[in-house]
A and B are shown apart, each in its own frame.
Chain A
Amino acid sequence: MDELDLNLYILAEIKYKKEHKKEETDKLFPLDWYSNKNYKLKIEIITEALKKNIRIEDTTLYQESFIEGHKYEKNISKNEQ
């Protein structure tokens, strides 16, 4: 695990939490969020959430890269390119 990625990820999570400080922490992160250790991807998702001022679960990138079926579709297209 790259410590640098994790450190940046932690900063991103702090910022995201600050932006949504009114909401319950439980609702800010999808249930499967912590199964995934691809911190670089997770930083990109948080960036999208921060830019659009939405929750992680509602970002396009999360939908495409976390949910099993979509993840598989994305990987197919990646492999076929």
Chain B
Amino acid sequence: MNDYKRIEELKENTLSIFENEIEIEDLYLKDQNGQTYFEYIIQEKLTIYSTKILKHISRNYNLLLYTINHNYILNEYYDSDLLLQKENGITLIEKLYKIDPFKCAQALPTYAIYKLFEKENGEYLIEKLLKTSENISQIIPKVNDPQLLYNCLSEIGRLDLMENANEYCLTYITQNGKTLLETIEQAYPNFRLNYETKNSEKIAEILYKTKQYDKLLNMNIELLLNSPNQNNNYLNLLIEKYKNGENINFENLTLYQNNNAVATANILLLKNNIEFEKTASYNLFSTSIFSNSKPEKPLFIRMYEIDKDITIKYFYNKEIEQKLKEYLAQINGIPVTSLKEIDINNLEKYLVPKVSIINQIKNNQIKIEDLTTEELLSKIDGNITVLEYLIKNNITPSYQYDICKYFDGILTLVKYNQNIFSGTNEEFLYKDVGNNQKLIDLLMQNKKFNICINQTVKRDLRIMDYCIKYNRYDVLNAKIISELFMHPNELEKYLNNDQFLEAVNLDQITQINKLLEYFDKGHKKLLLNADEEILLKVRNGKTVLESLLESNLTPKFKGGITSQKTLEILVKYNRFDLVSLAKLELLMNYPNKETNYLSYLIEATKKKMDVHLEKISCKIEDNELKARLYIQMAKSDLQESLDTLEEKDLLKVDKDRKNLLYYLIQTDKETTLNKILSTTLKSNPNVFTELKLLGITDTPINISYKSFNCDEMSRTIANEKYCDGIITTPTVEPLLQELRELFLNDGQSDKDLIEALVTSYRYTTSVNPIFIEELKLLIEIKKKNNDFTYKKEKDGGYFNPRMKSVVVSDTTISTLNHETGHALHFFLTDYKLPEQYESIISRIASSEDWMKKLEEYAKNAERIKEEAKKNAREIITRYISLEAAQTNTEEINSLLQSTKEEQKRKYIEKGYSEETLDLIFSSTFTLEEFIKQKREVEQAEMVDVIMRYEYDAFTAISDILDAITYGKFRSGLLSTEQNETINPFYGHGIRYYTRDALSGFQEMIANYETIIKSKKSKEMIDLLRYYVGDELVNMLEEFYTVEMLNIHSYETERNETL
């Protein structure tokens, strides 16, 4: 493929900057205007997801500079050494900070942040940047070196910026034995806490101890009500002090957070006779009475629920009365005018009846996904929380992310051994959970919590103690490893710890020079996990890789081998066991195509050296390369070391739209046919056809392929399935004849359909006499309604009660049975709906294992689909005549080769719109492509016929399951506990049931007909019972027998039936 074409393809598809879809070389490809693909990505501000590409850019000065000059920030990938380099006297760090300090704080390594607080030419970098913009202060919360921060800010006279410092810095104890917070207070009395630090328990403790009550009252009100503990919280402690005569100004309370906390605080103060101007006067109906999103209860109501008397005494007045009326009218859905007087002492009766959340869930009044985290963590029945109740009942709310933000939430998930896919607050890890354990102990004891720990640890090096305690280093992520590198004393503790060195993740380490320094000091094992680029750095005249190999240390090459230089070294050291890890392109093309590294490997194998041919990666998209690999290996009879080729591998097309088989034949026909393709593969109809198309006519298997008529095929199967071995009975045959004549003489019904209907009744009546009754009723219906017909239309597949017609597209018997079921339901009961229908399906849908059953069904359905595909391929070979006509290539060729206008003309005559034709003919198509697609369409149609014949009852069950979910199953809207979508199968989908929720029963009864008339009816009814339970199946059985067939001895006949 030429460069222009490749770059065009890359630009067309912006997803290509994902891993593995773009190569480093692609970055340098130029388009016709001379712009490289790299420049295009940066100018268009496309996000780069590929680690490989990010690493490459961040380690290349020119590319990095280009990103910075175009205000482009790389995600967390910056190389510390390069950032210190300068352009026109300005370091790259400095330039980066000017783009967006906040984003830089996220993206830059800790190392680069500290550069802000270091002096250069007598000036701190932060000082310099502050002159341009105050925004740089946004980076301060990221700083974890209190002394450095304080010294710098106090020296430049900007202690006010310490307000942005994080909890760790403020609570740091300085040399004078005081916390930094106290030290700042003395130097800068106007110091205020920020949003984050107002939530810090440690800071609250310091403020309480140092008697800074005004500042303490200014902290988050929830914290004041819950710390140090709920019963003896700071607000209580301050009230006590106030009563004992201390001067405490409660005006400092910030009474504007969540209504629950504000209400509790208000009542607490007023109960203690503490009144002040601000108490609760803050808009009593503050939050969102009329908002559409889930509103908080008004403050007045919250307080009323806590203490009715105090609330009425202090807050009830004319103005509030009016607002209250409006609120009550709104929640009760009545006009305000209907609430003339309010009985303020008995407000409960106006409020929504207080149904517990659990009851609301049980009664489907509230969906689990609509619960707030607060509600999930609220207590019911004494001790248990809603969340615990749900987990005990096998329901896990899917939005765990929010739950994990709360200590009680994460603890519950851990205690109940739930899967956790998100991180939590790093501080929580070290909170006590009883039995002398902390949360981290619980997490470390079970590997399933790895993701949670991995996504949580960021800065706190206490995690290392637990890694040692549990010998678990796999939980460490790149951030915490980077942090560890910032603390050499800590790091050195682990440099001789083999488990640590095995597991250490160096992927995003930016302190490359530090790594190399340790390496130079003899800590070679530290680099076992380093990527190839680091392994190729030269130290004392040798690459790191060479030094490692000489010390008998084997690097892991986690990112694979992509450099020719690496291969040269490995070959030099006879490490062929590692050579096989190289990228296939390198193995096949270097040093040159003829004598490539693969030939070295083959030679080494012959010499019985340690070679791991099985590690060669065959999972590549490039078919040409893959073909050369298989041929080269096969020539030395080593092809069995590679992945076994299957039909799908051979026929999968690559980006040039050519398949592997094409390249294999092009490269070496003889080797391909004799050594690579097994006899089974060659006799596979699709491979066989492909070989024919490639001009291989001398293969020993004598089958060929033709287009076929699905309907014809369908009839052949029907005959096999429903006619063979069926004995006609003297009772039934006259009835069948009567049915046939009645419909064939109505002048409208389709002959083939009526014959298929007769075939179906002949079969079903021979199996079960109940269908003789149904047949008689159908005859009666036809006699009364001569306009009741069976018609064939291309897009049929329904029963139309107004036209009294069953309309189908082909003679598939299961479809006929289904639509006849609709007709019988209509004619015999006028679409009656059983009274208990809704309550039964609601019970099924709320039963404990319902979702699991659906999931299980969906898995079986997938298996069956695959089975049907396999059968389709077999049937194609079985039924299709051996000497079938080749697809009419001439006609297709003329279509594909004619001009666009000629192509269009033919179709305009047939009534196609210009717009449709322009759209289709805007592309060009090859003959090969056309034939391949045609074969796929035919095969898919065959699969459909097989599904409807062989799995008719199974798909009918699917339709019933879909009806119970009101179409969500068919529309793919259901998910498993692990939040994976449950694969949809047959059904009607959500839009159908949105139109008419109760039409579910119509579908169920029609599907019931399909099932009881199917070949394995008993087995299938049992299967239906397994999925939906006895109640629904009994209801369908009773409805069919009693309501439709009018057989009242149903109970006695039930056991005989089916």
Residues of A in contact with B (beta carbons under 8 Å apart): 1, 3-15, 17-18, 22, 26, 29, 31-38, 40-41, 43-44, 47, 50-51, 63, 65-72, 75-76, 79
Tell me if B809 and A35 are in contact (CB < 8 A): yes
Q: A38-B809, A79-B803 are in contact. List 12 more A-B contacts (CB 8 A).
A: A6-B934, A12-B920, A14-B923, A14-B930, A34-B944, A36-B794, A36-B797, A41-B795, A47-B916, A69-B988, A69-B996, A75-B798
**Is the beta-carbon distance between A32 and B986 smaller than 8 angstroms?**
yes
Q: Which residues of B contact A34 (CB under 8 A)?
A: 937, 940-941, 943-944
Given A69-B995, A69-B996, check contact A4 B907 (CB 8 Å). Answer: yes
What range describes how many residues of B lie at the interface?
A: 35 or more
Evaluate whether A29 and B794 lie within 8 angstroms (CB atoms) in the complex, with A5-B910, A63-B991 already known. Answer: no
B49 interface contact, C-beta 8 A: no
| Neighbour of A47 across the interface among B794, B910, B919, B991, CB < 8 A | B919
Contact across chains for B925 and A14 when beta carbons are under 8 A apart:
yes
Q: Which of B798, B923, B1003 contacts A71 (CB 8 A)?
A: B798
Q: Which of B799, B815, B923 meets A18, CB within 8 Å?
A: B923
Cβ contact of B919, chosen from A29, A40, A50, cutoff 8 A: A50
Q: Is the beta-carbon distance between B809 and A10 smaller than 8 angstroms?
A: no
Could you tell me which residues of chain B, from 925 to 967, have a CB within 8 Å of some CB in chain A? 925, 929-930, 933-934, 937, 940-941, 943-944, 948
Which B residues lie within 8 Å of A44 (CB)?
916
Cβ–Cβ contact A76 & B802, under 8 A: yes
Q: Decide yes or no: A10 and B800 within 8 Å by CB, A47-B919, A67-B991, A68-B988 being known contacts.
A: no
* Also in contact, A8 and B923, with CB within 8 A (given A14-B933, A70-B992, A75-B800): no
- Chain B nearest CB, measured from A21 CB (Å): 9
| Closest CB in chain A relative to B916 CB, distance in Å | 4
Q: Is the CB of B798 within 8 A of A14?
A: no
Q: Are A51 and B919 in contact (CB under 8 A)?
A: yes
Contact call A36/B809, Cβ cutoff below 8 A: yes
Interface string of B867-900 (1 = CB under 8 A from A): 0000000000000000000001001100100000
Q: Which residue of the partner chain A has the closest CB to B812? A: A35
Query: B797 to A71, Cβ gap below 8 A?
Result: yes
The list of the 7 closest CB pairs from A to B, nearest first, reads: A38-B794, A34-B944, A72-B798, A38-B795, A47-B916, A34-B940, A34-B941
B988 adjacent to A67 (CB under 8 Å): yes
- Which chain B residue has the least Cβ–Cβ distance from A63? B991
Known contacts A63-B991, A67-B989, A75-B807; decide if A7 and B892 are in contact (CB<8 Å): yes
Report yes or no: A70 in contact with B797, Cβ–Cβ below 8 A.
no
Complex interface: chain B residues within 8 A of A63 (CB)? 991
Shortest Cβ distance from A66 into chain B, in angstroms? Answer: 8
Instruction: State whether A65 touches B795 (Cβ < 8 A).
Output: yes
Which of A12, A65, A68, A76 has the most B CB atoms < 10 Å from its CB?
A: A68
- C-alpha spacing A1/B809, complex, angstroms: 12
Residues of B within 8 A of A15 (CB): 919-920, 923
* B985 within 8 A of partner (CB): yes
User: Does B709 sit within 8 A of A, measured CB to CB?
Assistant: yes
Closest residue of chain B to A44, judged by CB? B916
B15 in contact with A35 (CB, 8 Å): no
Whether A70 and B991, one on each chain, are in contact in the complex, defined by CB atoms closer than 8 angstroms, is yes
Q: Which of B810, B906, B933 lies in contact with A13, CB distance below 8 A?
A: B933
Q: Is B999 close to A, CB under 8 A?
A: yes
Question: Contacts A37-B809, A47-B915, A67-B989 known; A11 to B798 CB distance under 8 Å?
Answer: no
Tell me if B794 and A41 are in contact (CB < 8 A): yes
Partner of A36, one of B711, B795, B988: B795
Picked from A9, A14, A37, the residue with its CB within 8 Å of the CB of B794 is A37
CB-defined contacts of B912 to chain A, threshold 8 Å: 8, 40, 43
